[in-house]
Structure 1
């Protein structure tokens, strides 16, 4: 009782501080814009609620057999279609844990289930079990982390000279965590090679220079052997709480081999120079002389087997190398003018190394470890580069996977721009470029990172268009279980969504749209194909000229129809361009994306069970069948979802979310709008969406009532009575400040 009392006092203190700060700063604010109000998330006090989306689960994870690939999608063992909606699990932010203790495992497994999450991607398990805090504050704030970060504490013992032994306590935490997730209907995706740091005791060449060995892991024999050993230890381990090896547990849905790791990326980004040395400049990434020599030797052996003697002689001549010396790789600056023979040879060789590695890892995982579920080799993650060469590797796999971020803080200059204003640059289009006909498509990392004034748009847009495209999985990056007594109610990291009031409010909405299938798949699937010449020319383009798709492809197509790659190295084809279209309307008629010359964008979702208005609502006269809004806010996201499975016009229990801007108390942007100079303090603040929402066409309704909910889905304040007006039932919103309402309809 005393511990709970202290938490209430602490929360009250944060709210009082925030109210004082807001009062002081509100003097110069526009009187017609709602002032920011404290609003926090606390998963530790969540309880079952009528607003939960737990009903999207079908019992304990794995109870219907192993997940498998069938007809280009994921299916359960009982023949029912399977989709993943969930999070990556990490532990970067202060007060977070990569692997929760037992009590936290029970708390957060239940919390995730209530949010509608049915899958988690276990990321950074291959990190050491020790953590060294990194402090980044003020003007020198890091572009990749919040003010207080530390590497996640994983499974590998940090007190030994090698990276080959697990910490028994951490392994026990993983076992209990998996057991609790399984009990709550949540499947696991094991991500194998992510952030492992190799040590001298591993007997790896240049161990002090290769960091976490991205790129090297494809061909360094010692590194390949160590990856196999790790996979066998982990997936061959028997969980003490389920009695099953992870390889034999149907609650494990997917296994991923490497994360954001590609030799073709190294080649495209000029990281095969072989100049990484102890005393070198070492700009970004590069091969060490040892690994560069090994790769060049492999390349020349490959040339001898796959090119004619005349072609090999010509390659020597092109490189200006005597015939008794190995042909080297080009530098990136040589690519634009490189002859076809040389460019094709390098791309083909590096592709063969990637495919060979992944074929062998799949064989090892299936035959020697006994993995029974689909295997993801790697992700298309370089979404700011042409991806056609990488597709040759991806198309050989069980599943095609991709990562994308809207204005990632580490690779984007000016930020804080709404995606809803730029459909042609949206995450949907960047992801859709990778989907392949006949293959499941998964998104294992995605986010609209904090800080941003527009993060509320992410979940409903992504869930809706992922459903339109009929994708198979979406994992947001990231969710971090909190350590009791060590966390504060604020956002402490660019990517951690756990305490974000806006994104947490919308996760159940996304679960209903994507898992329940509230938004229909496109009626028409359009495909495109690439010739060898197109793939080659895409590879040599400068970054500024690199397209998401083949030049001539109408990038709006994935917002209207299904979109897939049909084949590579074949006769090229493109679907016909779309005609003039504003708004851009899906062929199902359920989704509409409107812009006004790159401003005042609005996405509307209009399906029987879920509807939404996303963006600049006040600037547009747009409504859906059952939803309209008159609000004071310039930007907002309002969603309406049936909680009882009935169409909205017949539903008696509905989730209404009203979300907008979120900040930490006292945060300050830099002059450019690219990051924060002051990260701020607790508590988190929301801009309440104020005005009126009208629920229309509610058949037979004689009363409509809205219960405001707090950040733990508990009632706050009194139930609000709707007013019957000519168009429908009008509900005043914004007082008290909240992100969610539980709507009750009496008939």
Structure 2
């Protein structure tokens, strides 16, 4: 293990805020490369298949991802988000790519999403499509390295609103309207098409085939977050009309096809102004996107038609270039309107965040709220956007730094993603891992939002996700609860309308998703209009035997138990408990009494956090294993972080390295005994250090993350 010299450690400690010097422990590791064969090397537990024609990812007969040679067998894909920019170091050189790809495989990743590649290709370039040759080479080599390690690819057809236009230095910002223009402007569409031809259809010299024809390319997201309404919200500015004038003429032409005359339109809307004439194409766009009107209802219907047509046209372009993989788009916003736009896609992709942060500048803020306190609403929102019968991909999610409850993300999202049977899970960041602390790039000098690689809490969560989600420790629900969708009839006057929260909480019990259906013929599920209550639906499930009679779900009390019995969320106590044959875990904001998970019992804790015990042997069962990974995550901050308020909601200065882990202790016991047992801290690089606890017979100990070789989130428990 790389270890800081004593003098350096003394300097770091002297830099800590006075009130925190005994509460926060500086991380000592420099190298973060996991050692082969260490307890954090998951490649034996989660081996990646060689990518070839038989291991091309397809949609199986039930709509779940599968390999072409075994279409009946669903596969779960743990995704590495690669959203690099010059500020985070950019794409690595060849040696770095080899090391990085190998590390991803060791961590349990089997698919990667490349995001904002267009921005990287065009960084500093002045002419259209004048890609930086070194960046092209590095991307090509990285793709080949990922493939060699059995890691498939997801790629955006467009990430940056600047596309491949030359002369811009704001490629990672929301500036530019190319995503909107794609729907209406022929030149913009031609630009997008040329971008696919010049990058995706370009031969990769390290694989011998263009990415668009490579078996490793599993999914193309046509354009990231390119919904028309969302684009308008992103570009909202005081004093500016809510809708771009580019929508006006196409909207008028659409209205002309729908209504016979101005009089017919006036009768339907009831609010036409004197200068609005359908025949003159002078009907105005809504003046307020948040004021519910019939005008907004028709605008939604218009947007649905445009977005479905755009997706079909862009998809055909990829097919004409030889692409055989899956295609998706409109990967955010779980509104009724966007749900209809996604109806005919081959796969559904969604982005979701808890306690969203707007940027890195001083004054950026978050709520410091628990995701368990709102019954995992960020999970439920996207669960209700899924269409049954199609692969479902969480292309971005995070419970963002510096939220002190973000230890929840490592259990909440992967546990419910597994329960829902989702196909891909991708926690967003510049990259999910780093090879070392201290890289000389602006976004690597401290932990930041949307940058999970340096955060020990987020990394512990991703480690647990590899087991809970990809390994399949949490079972998929046996209950399917369709939300009936009629079509345009489901649109109301509220542009922002989404599935009601009082119904999406069904996702905490069983699988939910959208399904085309005549509500009068819906035998089981959620009908239209959405005037039912979850409690009534679950009571019906109990009556007819779909839900076990002993299921403890009590919606009024905020208590939810999955139909499998493996997941229990208690909103009032801020606890999520998971108990499976292979992993037992709990995330808790308070611990007023012990948590008994079956094998593992959490007796006491001096603060909030995440505790998980997972079997490492094969077969992986807690009842029979002799080696266990124990995860204990509390909180982490940067050295010298400064906030504007005592609740630490508003940031003034993100501080610097080293990362500090909040000191914590828990008292644990197991219902198993052993002739001899020992507990050893594991460094963040996988190094197993000398035991800190040992014994014979019953297993009970106090676990502190203040280990002799430095603070950590990982421990190895071994039986003799």
Q: TM-score, normalised by structure 1?
A: 0.82
Which of the numbers 470, 478, 498 marks the counterpart of 2:429?
A: 478
Q: Deviations over 1:503-559 (max 9, x none)?
A: 112322211111111101112111222456873326356xxxx5x4247x4342111
Please give the alpha-carbon distance, in whole angstroms, between the structure 1 residues aligned to 2:488 and 2:309.
23
CA contact (8 A) 1:14 1:683 kept: no
What SS does structure 1 have at the residue aligned with 2:352? strand
**1:123 CA drift (Å):** 0.3
- Counterpart selection for 2:89 from 91, 97, 104: 97
The corresponding residue for 2:358 is 410
Match of 1:252 in 2: 217
Q: 1:119 aligns with which of 111, 123, 127?
A: 111
Change in Cα spacing, 1:637 to 1:232, as seen in structure 2 (3 Å) is same
Q: Partner of 1:640 in structure 2?
A: 613
Q: Which moved more, 1:733-742 or 1:689-698?
A: 689-698
After superposition, the Cα gap between the structure-2 partners of 1:358 and 1:569, relative to the gap in structure 1 and judged at 3 Å, is farther
1:83 correspondence with 2:73: no
Where does residue 420 of structure 2 map in the other structure?
Answer: 469
Q: SS of the residue aligned with 1:539?
A: coil
Question: Deviation at 1:420?
Answer: 2.3
1:556 alignment partner, one of 487, 500, 505: 505
1:58 to 26, 48, 67: 48
Tell me which moved more, 675-684 or 613-622.
613-622
Residue 378 of structure 1, aligned match among 306, 319, 330 = 330
Task: Say if 1:26 and 1:477 are closer, same or farther in 2 by CA, change over 3 A.
Answer: closer
Q: How does 1:580-619 map to 2 (within 5 A)?
A: 580-581=554-555, 582=557, 583-596=559-572, 600-616=573-589, 618-619=591-592
Equivalent-residue separation in structure 1 for 2:324 and 2:26 (angstroms): 49
Once the two structures are overlaid, the 10-residue window that deviates more, 471-480 or 531-540, is: 531-540
**Runs of 5+ consecutive residues of structure 1 not aligned to the other structure:** 128-153
Alignment match, 1:159: 125
DSSP-derived class of the 2:122 partner: coil
TM-superposition CA deviations, 1:655-679 (whole Å, max 9, x none): 1111101011121222163232121
Which structure 2 residues correspond to residues 361-510 of structure 1 after superposition, within 5 A?
A: 361-366=314-319, 368-379=320-331, 381-382=332-333, 387-410=335-358, 414-423=366-375, 426-480=377-431, 485-486=439-440, 491-510=446-465
Deviations 1:697-732, CA, capped at 9 Å, x for gaps: 36xx3222222111111123x123433465x45464
- Contact 2:80/2:104 (<8 A) preserved: no
How much has 1:194 moved relative to structure 2? 0.8
Correspondences of 1:253-268 after superposition (within 5 Å): 253-266=218-231
Q: Say which SS state the counterpart of residue 428 (structure 2) adopts.
A: strand
Distance 1:629 1:490, change over 3 A: farther
Corresponding residue for 2:309? 356
Q: Distance in 2 between matches of 1:13 and 1:226?
A: 56
- Trace 1:515-534 onto structure 2 (pairs within 5 A): 515-531=470-486
Q: Deviations over 1:558-595 (max 9, x none)?
A: 11111111227865446652263553111100001113
Aligned length: 669
Q: Per the alignment, in what secondary structure is the counterpart of residue 588 of structure 1? A: coil
- d(CA) in 2 for partners of 1:569, 1:165: 52
Match of 1:73 among 64, 78, 83: 64
The alpha-carbon distance between structure 1 residues 432 and 620, as it changes in their structure 2 partners (threshold 3 A), is farther
Q: Paired residue for 1:318? A: 272
Per-residue CA distance 1:326-360 (angstroms, 9 max, x = gap):
14343243774634xx4443222221111111001
Change in Cα spacing, 1:741 to 1:695, as seen in structure 2 (3 Å) is: same
Residues 377, 200 of structure 1: alpha-carbon distance in 2 compared, 3 angstrom cutoff: closer
Q: Given the superposition, is the C-alpha separation of residues 26 and 376 from structure 1 closer, same or farther in structure 2, using an over 3 Å criterion?
A: closer
RMSD: 3.2
The answer to whether the aligner puts 1:345 opposite 2:308 as a matched pair is: no
CA contact (8 A) 1:43 1:108 kept: no
Structure 2 residue aligned with 1:328, among 283, 295, 306? Answer: 283
Shift of 1:470: 0.8
Aligned with 2:152 (options 180, 183, 187): 187
CA distance in structure 1 between the partners assigned to 2:391 and 2:205 by the alignment: 32
Q: Whole-Å Cα distance in 2 between the matches of residues 250 and 351 of structure 1?
A: 32
Q: 1:14 to 1:329 in 2, by over 3 A?
A: farther
Offset at residue 482 of structure 1 (A): 6.5
**CA distance in structure 1 between the aligned counterparts of 2:99 and 2:672, rounded to whole angstroms:** 39
In structure 2, how many angstroms separate the alpha carbons of the residues matched to 1:705 and 1:334?
A: 61
Residues 270 and 657 of structure 1: CA distance in aligned 2, closer, same or farther (over 3 Å): closer
TM-score when normalising by structure 2: 0.85
Of the three residues 652, 677, 684, the one matched with 2:659 is: 684
1:61-91 CA-partner distances (Å, limit 9, x unpaired): 4464321112121111122322221232122
1:743/1:394 CA distance change after superposition, 3 Å:
same
SS at match of 2:255: helix
| 1: CA distance, partners of 2:181 / 2:659 | 42
SS in 2 for 1:85: strand
Contact 1:40 1:501 in 2 (8 A): no
Q: Distance in 1 between matches of 2:32 and 2:515?
A: 44
| Residues 611/64 of structure 1: CA separation in 2 closer, same or farther (3 Å cut) | farther
Provide the secondary structure at the position in 1 that maps to 2:503. Answer: coil
| Displacement after TM superposition at 1:110 (Å) | 1.7
User: Quick check: 1:229 aligned with 2:194?
Assistant: yes
| Distance verdict in 2 for CA 1:611–1:252, change over 3 Å | same
Residue 215 in structure 1 maps to residue 180 in structure 2:
yes
Offset, 1:36: 3.4
Q: CA deviation at 1:492?
A: 3.8
Q: What pairs with 1:127-166 in structure 2 (closer than 5 Å)?
A: 127=119, 154-156=120-122, 158-162=124-128, 164-166=129-131
- Distance in structure 1 (CA, Å) of the matches to 2:488 and 2:132: 51
Q: Secondary structure at the match of 1:126?
A: helix
Counterparts of 2:714 and 2:241, CA distance in 1:
44
2:546 corresponds to 1:577: no
